[in-house]
Structure 1
Amino acid sequence: MKISTKGRYGLTIMIELARKHGEGPISLKTIAQMNDLSEHYLEQIIAPLRNAGLVKSIRGAYGGYILSDIPSKITAGDVIRVLEGPISPVEGIEDEEPAKRELWIRIRDAVKDVLDNTTLDDLASYTGTGDGESDPYMFYI
């Protein structure tokens, strides 16, 4: 499974909203500038997140977007599924021989476990050292 820029940027939006949770709405323009991303592309990504009920839009001069729930209740899996679809390393698992099917299922379940147990709160407050040793979100398969 490869996460596209849609999923990556969608997670960026959600992490920024989590960081500003409780401070009022944040505009996509602000998020785009903070992360050196295309505001136009973020506008395309926010629509499915809003339609899925993960974010709310606030209109007006000081409008923007806020999370629809607290950051500890929204997982990376919630965001990735909305933007990328079902989590699966390969298509047609049911057609594989049993040994390979078991491998694909184990990989799928491991990825789901990480995504479903990593909240926006975890990601927004993460201050890892980047040395790989103390990085709880770096997995090698």
Structure 2
Amino acid sequence: MDISARTDYAVRAMLILGEAQQAESGPVSVETLAQRQSLPRKFLEEIVADLRTAGLVTSTRGARGGYSLARPATETVLGDVFRAVDGPLAEVRGLRPHETAYEGVALHLPQVWVAVRAALRAVLDTTSLADVLSGELPDTVRELTANPDAWINRA
């Protein structure tokens, strides 16, 4: 799986907004979001617009305006951010895994694609922004990263 720059930037921006929410410091400008994580401002503006359209952030106009999380960081999971900026977690040639069908030697391949999506959901839909901010990651994430093989590049 390739995590796009768009998704990476979106998650990092959402973490800043989560931190601001926890500190009750109010809206954060795109300029501040970009500076805090060394992100390209123009690209980040497009990403934040997608997050707003998805209902994950709200915007406030004015001199002290900017963006805030639309719901608590404890209720905003990484999977929602992924979907907001890059679409479904797993697709096969533009189809959802459960929509694929094959014959012959590939007959059982849809089960593998559905399992891949389920594995992504097991991590991304159970890990909230608050979890990442605190480092108190879900058991699934901790168990997967505790395996030394998880850290080995097999490219």
Same fold (TM over 0.5): yes
When the two structures are superposed, what TM-score results if normalisation uses the length of structure 2?
0.78
In the alignment, structure 1 residue 4 sits paired with structure 2 residue 9:
no
Structure 1 residues 118 and 127: alpha-carbon distance in aligned structure 2, compared to 1, 3 A threshold: closer
Higher relative contact order structure (alpha carbons within 8 Å, sequence separation ≥ 6): 1
More helix per residue: 1 or 2? 2
In the alignment, structure 1 residue 29 sits paired with structure 2 residue 31:
yes
Rg larger for: 2
In the alignment, structure 1 residue 52 sits paired with structure 2 residue 54:
yes
Counterparts of 1:12-23 in structure 2, within 5 Å, are 12-21=12-21, 22-23=24-25
Q: Name stretches of at least 5 consecutive residues in structure 1 with no aligned partner.
A: 129-134
Shift of 1:63: 1.1
Identity %: 36
Shift of 1:36: 0.9
Counterparts of 1:1-141 in structure 2, within 5 Å, are 1-21=1-21, 22-88=24-90, 90-91=92-93, 92=95, 93=97, 94-96=100-102, 97-126=106-135, 136=142, 138=145, 140=150
CA RMSD of superposed structures (Å): 2.2
Structure 1 residues 83 and 71: alpha-carbon distance in aligned structure 2, compared to 1, 3 A threshold: same
User: Following the alignment from structure 1 to structure 2, what is the Cα–Cα distance between the partners of residues 26 and 42?
Assistant: 13
When the two structures are superposed, what TM-score results if normalisation uses the length of structure 1?
0.85
